[in-house]
């Protein structure tokens, strides 16, 4: 398992959160419980199974919605 | 393609504005209806595209967002050939989002200032022994790092070589530089003002004290209170409900224009954003003023606090007690004091430290066995004799007889506000010491301010004797004083108040009072940025600055008020808009959207006022 922190562009509508949450949750290998979309910090934090999923794929799911990823990092748990 | 359009939002907004202006100039100035209509059609399609894409994405993850409502409304207006409405509504929606983003950045600025203080680079010793600049993520525990004058310390670590002065304001709030040399700890985010240091990394990234502070504040600004979670749930059902409602209105009235107008008017814009905005601005203000608030639940509770209980030593007082009075009941003072120091050296209790400091250099005796008596003191075996050091309670337990003179001395010492340390050897009283702690300057005024802010009871809870505690309470104007309290008594007392339905805050130093800190609805730690204080409490006063307490309380009250105002504004706008569409002639989609966007800006600007709260 890895712990990812993804910094996004400034989020300005709370419904963005629901969208991002929905998109990331639908990925296979995401620890659903750990997923947090921080509106004010404009960050996504989650744990994921790095055998099923890569950080790149998570980023892609978010950018596909139209939100720019500024910085991301993943650390082994 | 989708991403391209979304990326061009700002340009699209500008082009829409130009097209709409062109349309109205050609219509009003030159009565050219052709250009009027075509400009508006293009503006509607251009402006509608990014909104429709967002709506589509939302629906894909099963969310009925505001984008969905607006898209349907715009398409509806387009179909009934009301291009004027469709163009203006899309423009206002986009322009509003643009302004929201700008102003939201403002409300978040205070916390951004803090997070930007996090170190980003480090000079790390590579395998060849040379130092090279690397990103902070590449530093691991055990790495050797070089810190030059003017640079930020990148990790929590220990100095290996070198010497210098470090400004630790980012951690402790204290702006006087601190001297650092070999084997001394240094902290991430602090700044080396002069000198050069080589340090070994003990903790990196989020594990450093500074990392924890940042994480705490970041999560706090996004934490949700019960009220907020309610609004979240509410808006989840609210938006689809608006959709259904407008559909019904359309079917019943057969008026498609009315139906789509309701779609726009019913948007919950200001409602979902109002509370988070107040939250982030309030917590940001606190972070700037040395008050860490752990989220909006804390703000909510603290703003309604009725009773604040204080620990005495280190909270109301400076926490550096000194021996002020002493009586020796024997001719062989040197021997007794030698025994006393030998025993007290075994303890790190503040009173013991004060005694050791007071007596200074003296001949020591070997201590064979020590027992700590909770809430009493220490009983030790020294050179074959039984030595008891502690309070009156311990002396009674040891069956030490207190003669008339000793009783008079004890009463006098207590009346002076001393904590007592009695020493007995083989059951006979030998020495009495009175130890006093200085009250923090300004505490009395700060407590007055708390009372003015509406706190009813100010209580001191202390392990000291009742006389000392009464004296302190009288001197600084507390409403109640409780002495002779063990940590578990304090916790029990808080529980008792809570059982009466009171909202209780406890202020302590975060280490020995953790049960009370955890139990009180609001645990306030006077922590110089220590990990324990950060973790066990709800509010942290940086640099143990007592004078931040009234600011903290005032701020939470202002923030809670601000949230209430924002909710009222948001709900009020929706109610007024929906009422006026049925009751007045002049209401239409464009005006509705304008009012909505204006109300969103109003709640953001209202939240921003909190940044300036003093």
How many other C-beta atoms lie within 10 A of the C-beta of residue B531? Answer: 15
Kindly give, in sequence order, each residue whose CB lies less than 8 Å from that of residue B130, ignoring residues fewer than 6 positions away: none
CA gap B111, B411 in Å, rounded: 53
- Classify residue A11 by its DSSP letter: P
CA gap B303, B105 in Å, rounded: 26
Looking at the 3D structure of chain A, how many domains does it have? 1
Helix or strand (DSSP H, E) at A38: strand A36-38
CA gap B583, B577 in Å, rounded: 10
- Classify residue A12 by its DSSP letter: -
Q: If DSSP states are collapsed to H, E and C, what string results for B405-462? A: HHHHHHHHHHHCCCEEEEEEECCEEEEEEEEECCECCCHHHHHHHHHHCCCCEEEEEC
Residues of B in contact with A70 (CB under 8 A): none
Q: How far is CA B63 from the centre of its chain?
A: 32
Structure token pair of residue B83: 């291009």
Structure token pair of residue B563: 């949230």
B100 has a chain A CB within 8 A of its CB? yes
- Classify residue B511 by its DSSP letter: S
A39 has a chain B CB within 8 A of its CB? yes
Write the pLDDT tens digit of every residue in B284-332.
898 888 888 888 888 889 999 999 999 887 788 877 788 888 999 988 8
Q: Are the Cβ atoms of B100 and A22 closer than 8 angstroms?
A: no
Q: Are the Cβ atoms of B3 and A64 closer than 8 angstroms?
A: yes
Which has the closest alpha carbon to B339: B402, B373, B381? B381
Residues of B with catalytic roles = 311
At B419, is the secondary structure helix, strand, or coil?
Answer: strand
CA gap B462, B183 in Å, rounded: 36
Q: If DSSP states are collapsed to H, E and C, what string results for B514-575? A: HHHHHHCCEEEECCCCCHHHHHHCCEEEHHHCCCHHHHHHHHHHHHHHHHHHHHHHHHHHHH
- State the average pLDDT over residues B399-410: 90
Structure token pair of residue B478: 């507390």
Kindly give, in sequence order, each residue whose CB lies less than 8 Å from that of residue B453, ignoring residues fewer than 6 positions away: B550, B553, B554, B557
Residue B179: C-alpha distances to residues B3, B192, B332 (Å): 53, 10, 43
- Classify residue B62 by its DSSP letter: T
Which has the closest alpha carbon to B242: B61, B96, B72? B72
Which has the closest alpha carbon to A66: B4, B507, B194, B404? B4
Check residues B125 and B31 and name the one with the higher pLDDT: B125
Question: Sorting pLDDT into bands at 50, 70 and 90, what band is B437?
Answer: confident
- Supply the pLDDT for residue B449: 94
Question: Sorting pLDDT into bands at 50, 70 and 90, what band is B565?
Answer: very high
Q: What is the residue range of A12's domain?
A: 2-76
> A55-64 and A14-25 are packed helices; what angle lies between their axes, rounded to 10 degrees?
140
Residue B95: HSE in the Cβ half-sphere, 13 Å Cα cutoff: 18
- State the average pLDDT over residues B451-480: 88
A73 has a chain B CB within 8 A of its CB? yes
A13 has a chain B CB within 8 A of its CB? yes
A63 has a chain B CB within 8 A of its CB? yes
Q: What is this structure's pTM?
A: 0.75
Classify residue B587 as left (phi > 0), alpha (psi -120 to 50) or beta: beta
Kindly give, in sequence order, each residue whose CB lies less than 8 Å from that of residue B78, ignoring residues fewer than 6 positions away: B44, B48, B86
Residue found by looking up tokens 């399609």 in the block: B45
Interface mutation target, options A12, A37, A61, chain B, most CBs of B under 10 Å: A12
Helix or strand (DSSP H, E) at A66: none
Backbone angles phi, psi at B201, to 5 degrees: -75, 125
Burial class (CB in 10 A: 0-12, 13-18, 19+), B96: buried
CATH number at residue A7: 3.30.70.100
Are the C-beta atoms of B63 and A18 separated by less than 8 Å? yes
- The minimum CA-CA distance between B55 and chain A, rounded to whole Å, is 10
Are the C-beta atoms of B467 and B320 separated by less than 8 Å? no
b/e code B189-218 from CB counts within 10 Å (16+ = b): bbbbeebebbbebbbbbeebbbbbbbbbbb
Are the C-beta atoms of B355 and B340 separated by less than 8 Å? yes
Write the pLDDT tens digit of every residue in B355-391.
888 888 888 888 888 888 877 889 999 888 999 999 8
- Supply the pLDDT for residue B483: 86
CA gap B35, B41 in Å, rounded: 10
Q: Are the Cβ atoms of A19 and B53 closer than 8 angstroms?
A: no
Q: If DSSP states are collapsed to H, E and C, what string results for B105-165? A: HHHCHHHHHHHCCCCCEEEEECCCCCEEEEEHHHCCCCCEEEECCCCECCCEEEEEEEEEE
User: Beta strand B131-135 with B121-125: parallel, antiparallel or unpaired?
Assistant: antiparallel
Residue found by looking up tokens 């608006």 in the block: B242
- Supply the pLDDT for residue B471: 84
Are the C-beta atoms of A15 and B67 separated by less than 8 Å? yes
- Classify residue A33 by its DSSP letter: G
Burial class (CB in 10 A: 0-12, 13-18, 19+), B133: exposed
Write the pLDDT tens digit of every residue in A29-56.
888 888 888 887 888 989 988 888 888 8
Please state the ipTM of this predicted complex.
Answer: 0.77
- Supply the pLDDT for residue B362: 86
Structure token pair of residue B168: 């630790």
Are the C-beta atoms of B343 and B383 separated by less than 8 Å? no
- Supply the pLDDT for residue B512: 66
Residues of B in contact with A39 (CB under 8 A): 222, 276
Burial class (CB in 10 A: 0-12, 13-18, 19+), B253: exposed
- Supply the pLDDT for residue B561: 94
- Compare CB distances from A15 to B65, B108, B222 and report the shortest one's residue: B65
- Supply the pLDDT for residue B175: 63
Q: Are the Cβ atoms of A12 and B53 closer than 8 angstroms?
A: no
Structure token pair of residue B76: 């509806």
- Supply the pLDDT for residue B49: 87
Question: Sorting pLDDT into bands at 50, 70 and 90, what band is B139?
Answer: confident
CA gap B146, B123 in Å, rounded: 5
Structure token pair of residue B612: 């300036």
Question: Sorting pLDDT into bands at 50, 70 and 90, what band is B511?
Answer: low
Q: Over chain B, what is the mean pLDDT?
A: 85
Asked if residue A17 has pLDDT above 60, the reply is yes
Residue B474: C-alpha distances to residues B130, B195, B481 (Å): 63, 49, 9
Write the DSSP string, B260-293.
Answer: HHHHHHT--HHHHHHHHHHHHHHHHHHHHTTEEE
Strand partners, A4: A46, A74
Least confident range from B18-27, B528-537, B586-595, B605-614: namely B528-537
Residue B245: C-alpha distances to residues B62, B186, B262 (Å): 19, 62, 8
Helix or strand (DSSP H, E) at A22: helix A14-25
- Supply the pLDDT for residue B606: 93
Kindly give, in sequence order, each residue whose CB lies less than 8 Å from that of residue B187, ignoring residues fewer than 6 positions away: B153, B156, B168, B171, B208, B209, B210
- Compare CB distances from A19 to B58, B222, B272 and report the shortest one's residue: B58
- Compare CB distances from A12 to B2, B101, B137 and report the shortest one's residue: B101
Question: Sorting pLDDT into bands at 50, 70 and 90, what band is B557?
Answer: very high
- The minimum CA-CA distance between B76 and chain A, rounded to whole Å, is 23
């Amino acid at each position: 398992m890895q712990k990812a922190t993804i910094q996004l562009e400034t989020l300005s509508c709370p419904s963005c959160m629901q969208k991002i949450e929905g998109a990331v949750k639908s990925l296979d290998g995401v620890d659903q419980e750990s997923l947090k979309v921080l509106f004010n910090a404009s960050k996504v934090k989650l744990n994921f199974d790095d055998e099923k999923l890569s950080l790149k794929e998570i980023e892609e799911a978010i950018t596909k919605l139209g939100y720019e990823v500024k910085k991301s990092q993943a650390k082994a748990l | 393609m989708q991403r391209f359009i979304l990326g061009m939002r700002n340009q699209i907004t500008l082009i829409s504005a130009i097209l709409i202006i062109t349309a109205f100039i050609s219509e009003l100035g030159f009565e050219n209806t052709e250009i009027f209509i075509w400009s508006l059609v293009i503006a509607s399609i251009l402006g509608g595209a990014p909104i429709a894409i967002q709506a589509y994405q939302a629906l894909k993850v099963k969310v009925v967002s505001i984008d969905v409502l607006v898209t349907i409304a715009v398409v509806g207006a387009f179909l009934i050939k009301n291009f004027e409405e469709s163009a203006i509504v899309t423009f206002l929606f986009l322009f509003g989002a643009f302004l929201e983003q700008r102003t939201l950045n403002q409300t978040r600025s205070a916390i951004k200032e803090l997070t930007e203080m996090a170190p980003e680079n480090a000079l790390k010793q590579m395998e060849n022994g040379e130092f090279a600049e690397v990103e902070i993520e590449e530093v691991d525990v055990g790495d050797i790092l070089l810190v030059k004058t003017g640079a930020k310390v990148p990790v929590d670590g220990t100095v290996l070589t070198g010497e210098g002065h470090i400004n630790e304001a980012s951690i402790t709030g204290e702006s006087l530089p601190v001297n650092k040399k070999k084997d001394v700890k240094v902290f991430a985010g602090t700044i080396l003002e002069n000198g050069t240091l080589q340090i070994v990394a003990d903790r990196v990234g989020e594990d450093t004290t500074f990392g924890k502070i940042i994480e705490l504040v970041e999560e706090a600004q996004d934490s949700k209170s019960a009220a907020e979670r309610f609004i979240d749930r509410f808006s989840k059902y609210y938006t689809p409900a608006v959709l259904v409602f407008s559909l019904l209105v359309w079917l019943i009235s057969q008026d498609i224009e009315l139906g789509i107008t309701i779609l726009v008017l019913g948007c919950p814009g200001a409602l979902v954003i109002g509370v988070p905005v107040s939250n982030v601005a309030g917590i940001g203000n606190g972070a700037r003023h040395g008050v860490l608030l752990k989220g909006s639940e804390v703000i909510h509770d603290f703003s309604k606090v009725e009773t604040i209980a204080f620990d005495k030593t280190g909270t109301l007082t400076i926490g550096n007690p000194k021996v002020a009075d002493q009586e020796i009941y024997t001719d062989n003072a040197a021997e007794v004091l030698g025994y006393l120091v030998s025993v007290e050296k075994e303890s790190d209790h503040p009173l013991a430290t004060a005694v050791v400091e007071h007596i200074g250099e003296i001949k020591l005796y070997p201590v064979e066995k020590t027992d700590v008596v909770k809430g009493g003191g220490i009983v030790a075996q020294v050179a074959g004799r039984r030595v008891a050091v502690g309070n009156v309670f311990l002396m009674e337990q040891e069956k030490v007889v207190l003669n008339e003179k000793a009783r008079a001395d004890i009463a006098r010492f207590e009346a002076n506000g001393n904590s007592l340390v009695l020493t007995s050897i083989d059951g006979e009283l030998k020495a009495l010491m009175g130890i006093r702690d200085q009250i923090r300057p300004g505490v009395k005024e700060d407590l007055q301010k708390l009372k003015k802010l509406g706190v009813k009871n100010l209580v001191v809870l202390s392990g000291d004797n009742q006389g000392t505690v009464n004296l302190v309470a009288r001197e600084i104007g507390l409403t109640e004083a409780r002495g002779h309290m063990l940590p578990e008594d304090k916790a029990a007392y808080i529980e008792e108040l809570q059982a009466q339905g009171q909202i209780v805050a406890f202020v302590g130093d975060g280490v020995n009072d953790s049960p009370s800190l955890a139990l009180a609805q609001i645990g306030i730690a006077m922590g110089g940025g220590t990990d324990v204080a950060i973790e066990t409490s709800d509010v942290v006063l940086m640099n143990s600055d007592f004078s931040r307490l009234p600011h903290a309380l005032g701020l939470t009250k202002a923030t809670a008020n601000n949230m209430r105002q924002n909710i009222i504004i948001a709900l009020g706008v929706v109610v007024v808009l929906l009422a006026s569409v049925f009751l007045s002639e002049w209401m239409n989609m464009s005006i509705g959207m304008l009012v909505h966007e204006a109300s969103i800006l109003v709640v953001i600007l209202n939240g921003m006022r909190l940044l300036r709260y003093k």
